[in-house]
Amino acid sequence: MTVRRWMRSGCAATLLTLGATVAAQAQAPRVIAITATDAMKYSVTEITAKPGEKLTVKLSAQGAIPKVAMAHNFVLLALKTDPAAFANAGSQSRATDFIPAAMKAQVIANTTLAGNGETVEVTFTAPKVPGAYTYICTFPAHFLAGMKGTLTVK
């Protein structure tokens, strides 16, 4: 292989790598940081997104109560899902982070449970259909205490 040919192939590989890096950065998800506390509230209860936008929700739990008694998650539900019925059905589903297996198809995105001092995250694509999508914490009684929010896609 000649030096000139080697330089051309090396330059082409470098350009391809740079192009892939720039494309990946252009598609980097928008990060939404949410704090959940022992008061059973999210710090962010309203999120607005464009249809098909990539999002990462980072949920950090802060409090003093042990994880076995106080943990939090982020569960984004499909349109027309009854959040109260979903949370009620999930209250008996500890093994699946309080997400009822029979209703898993109604979940767009979810995190695992986070206890005091832990951060969990989920990356997803916002639905393409405009609307108001409810997100909830499925740990027992948290939704009833008001631990919910809305992702508005428009």
The yes-or-no verdict on residue 48 having pLDDT over 90 is: yes
Give me the phi and psi of 86, to 5 degrees please. -65, -50
Provide the pLDDT for residue 27. 80
**Interval 124-144 mean pLDDT:** 97
Long-range CB contact pairs, 13-21, < 8 A, 24+: none
DSSP state of 84: H
Return the DSSP state at 29: P
Q: Which residues contact 89 (CB under 8 A, 6 or more apart)?
A: 100, 102, 103
Mean pLDDT value across residues 114-132: 98
Give residue 93's pLDDT band: very low, low, confident or very high (50, 70, 90).
very high
* H or E element that contains 8: helix 3-26
Q: What is the reported pLDDT for 21?
A: 47
- Structural domains in the chain, CATH included, are 28-153 (2.60.40.420)
According to the 3-state scheme, what is the secondary structure of 34-83?
EEEECCCCECCCEEEECCCCEEEEEEEEECCCCCCCCCECCEEECCCCCH
pLDDT of residue 9: 52
